[in-house]
């Protein structure tokens, strides 16, 4: 992976470099804020063979039984698997006659009646299994979805077979899902206590659904492991890509750049953007501060957001994930009539046009006052994606400490739940119900 900050307009001082190094050290010494949630820091190097083998064995069992696996979870219990799966998948796979892997679809990441209805309706035509993921085991959205999926699986296969088709990923001891999994006899994987949801993609939360979908989880972990070594505290600042990225974005924030737009010219990375938005939004958006994480997929969004980025409020900067080598080769052919005037492109690869779009946009945006950070990954494969995920996680920890917040809590996500339960008249919320109904 390469990181180019030459068009960010930031010249890093020795002071910010030292601060970023100190922030990275805090992640290892455990003396910083939120120090009971640092399990992710050494996760790649600490995943052992037995754990990987157990995940692969559970995945193989589900793969043998089901051609559709419904993966239930929300937030950190959803976005990592979704992001990697989208990045690794052929978007047109379902159009092919032959399917070599089960289809993994997601539920519990919304409360849409239509979404769950249509998913369950389509599931009737398939042999189904499920992975239910919730660290707390009490989150409403996945709990509702799991009720429906569990009932459908039990109705179709009976309770005993359901326990062969459902795997739970949850806390080792606490929570309703843990109790339910124990009572029903579901195989269960543990989310470590010291790994928060948004940092959990390299635990069974991400690895199990990905293994079911046929993703090479060993290569994913290997990539993350390399990045863990490359961003360790003993690596000097100028070689530590996560520290550099964290320092630059904090300098841009201090200079008034309040929104960071993550973008890429590969649509299969769209959900990496979504995963990144949760990682940074939930980690840094507190105490009335933090960079607002936004995203674009290019070149599509140049035809929607391009105008704003070029000429709107000058409070933006961009971070582009650039992919050095596509998987496939497509050459543009000459056309006898040349009615579209594009014969000057004949003989060129589509990726060359994409690259020139990227470079042209970069300079146009920089000229328009939007600083640019460029992250280059060699290709989209499991190893490169594993490295990218860990790069962003490490940078997020450093960046949160530079900002002065606790990057590992999320007190703000509770507020909506209180109102929702009051409106739904949950027992124990009687006073809140009266108060909120009076405000409607």
Starting at the edge strand found earlier in the chain, the sheet holding 68-72 runs 103-107, 68-72, 128-134, 166-170, 188-190
148, 188, 164: which is closest to 62 by C-alpha?
164
Among the listed residues 303, 313, 329, 337, the single catalytic one is 303
User: Of 370 and 405, which has the nearer Cβ to ligand PA5?
Assistant: 405
* 393 among known catalytic residues: no
Q: How many CA atoms lie within 13 A of 139 on its CB side?
A: 26
CB of 21 to ligand PA5, least distance (A): 27
Give the pair of three-digit tokens for residue 13.
């001082």
* 288 among known catalytic residues: no
Q: Rule CB under 6 A: which residues touch ligand PA5?
A: 74-77, 134-136, 139, 142, 196-198, 282, 410
H or E stretch at 419: helix 415-423
- Judge whether 365 and 372 are in contact, CB under 8 Å: yes
CB of 168 to ligand PA5, least distance (A): 11
Q: Are strands 188-190 and 259-264 parallel, antiparallel or unpaired?
A: unpaired
Among the listed residues 348, 417, 418, 437, the single catalytic one is 417
- Judge whether 189 and 175 are in contact, CB under 8 Å: no
CB of 71 to ligand PA5, least distance (A): 13
User: Of 75 and 206, which has the nearer Cβ to ligand PA5?
Assistant: 75
DSSP for 311-352, please give it. Answer: HS-S-EEEEEEEESS-SS--BPPP-SS-TTS-GGGTT-BHHH
User: Of 204 and 371, which has the nearer Cβ to ligand PA5?
Assistant: 204
* Backbone angles phi and psi of 100, in degrees to 5: -90, -20
Among the listed residues 266, 282, 358, 393, the single catalytic one is 282
Quote the crossing angle between the two packed helices 176-184 and 140-157, to the nearest 10°. Answer: 10
Measured at CB, which residue is nearest to ligand PA5?
A: 197
* 303 among known catalytic residues: yes
User: Of 134 and 372, which has the nearer Cβ to ligand PA5?
Assistant: 134
User: Of 65 and 277, which has the nearer Cβ to ligand PA5?
Assistant: 277
User: Of 122 and 413, which has the nearer Cβ to ligand PA5?
Assistant: 413
Using DSSP's 3-state secondary structure scheme, residue 373 falls into strand
* Backbone angles phi and psi of 334, in degrees to 5: -70, 150
CB of 134 to ligand PA5, least distance (A): 3
CB of 109 to ligand PA5, least distance (A): 9
CB of 394 to ligand PA5, least distance (A): 17
Active site residues per annotation: 282, 303, 417
């Amino acid at each position: 992976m390469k990181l180019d900050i030459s068009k960010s307009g930031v010249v890093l001082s020795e002071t910010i470099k030292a601060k970023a190094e100190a922030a990275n050290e805090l992640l290892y010494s455990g003396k910083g804020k939120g120090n009971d949630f640092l399990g992710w820091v050494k996760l790649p190097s600490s995943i052992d063979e037995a754990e990987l083998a157990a995940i692969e064995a559970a995945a193989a069992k589900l793969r043998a039984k089901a051609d559709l696996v419904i993966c239930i979870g929300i937030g950190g219990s959803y976005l990592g698997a979704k992001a990697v799966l989208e990045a690794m998948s052929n978007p047109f796979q379902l159009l092919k006659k032959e399917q070599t892997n089960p289809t993994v679809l997601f539920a519990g990441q919304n409360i849409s009646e239509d979404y769950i209805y249509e998913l369950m309706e389509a599931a009737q035509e398939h042999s189904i299994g499920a992975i239910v993921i919730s660290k707390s085991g009490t989150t409403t959205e996945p709990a509702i979805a799991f009720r429906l999926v569990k009932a459908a699986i039990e109705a179709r296969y009976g309770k005993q077979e359901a326990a062969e088709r459902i795997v739970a990923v949850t806390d080792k001891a606490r929570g309703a899902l843990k109790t339910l999994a124990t009572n029903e006899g579901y195989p269960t994987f543990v989310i470590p206590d010291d790994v928060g949801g948004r940092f959990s993609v390299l635990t069974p939360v991400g690895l199990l659904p990905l293994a079911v979908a046929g993703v090479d989880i060993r290569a994913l972990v290997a990539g993350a492991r390399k990045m863990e070594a490359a961003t360790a505290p003993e690596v000097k600042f100028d070689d530590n890509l996560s520290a550099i990225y964290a320092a630059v974005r904090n300098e841009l924030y201090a200079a008034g750049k309040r929104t960071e737009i993550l973008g890429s010219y590969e649509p299969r990375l769209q959900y990496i953007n979504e995963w990144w938005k949760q990682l940074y939004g939930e980690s840094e958006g507190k105490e009335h501060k933090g960079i607002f994480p936004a995203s674009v997929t290019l070149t599509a969004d140049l035809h929607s957001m391009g105008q704003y980025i070029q000429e709107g409020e000058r409070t933006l900067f961009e971070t582009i994930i650039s992919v050095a080598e596509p998987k496939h080769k497509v050459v543009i052919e000459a056309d006898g009539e040349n009615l579209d005037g594009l014969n000057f492109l004949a003989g060129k690869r589509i990726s060359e046009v994409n690259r020139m779009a990227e470079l042209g946009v970069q300079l146009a945006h920089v000229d328009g006052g939007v600083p640019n950070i460029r992250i280059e990954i060699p290709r989209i494969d499991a190893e490169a994606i594993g490295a990218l995920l860990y790069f962003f996680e490490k940078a997020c920890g450093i960046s949160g400490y530079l900002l002065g917040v606790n990057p590992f809590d999320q007190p703000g996500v509770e507020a909506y739940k209180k109102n929702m339960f009051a409106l739904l008249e949950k027992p124990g919320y009687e006073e809140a119900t009266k108060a909120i109904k009076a405000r409607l």
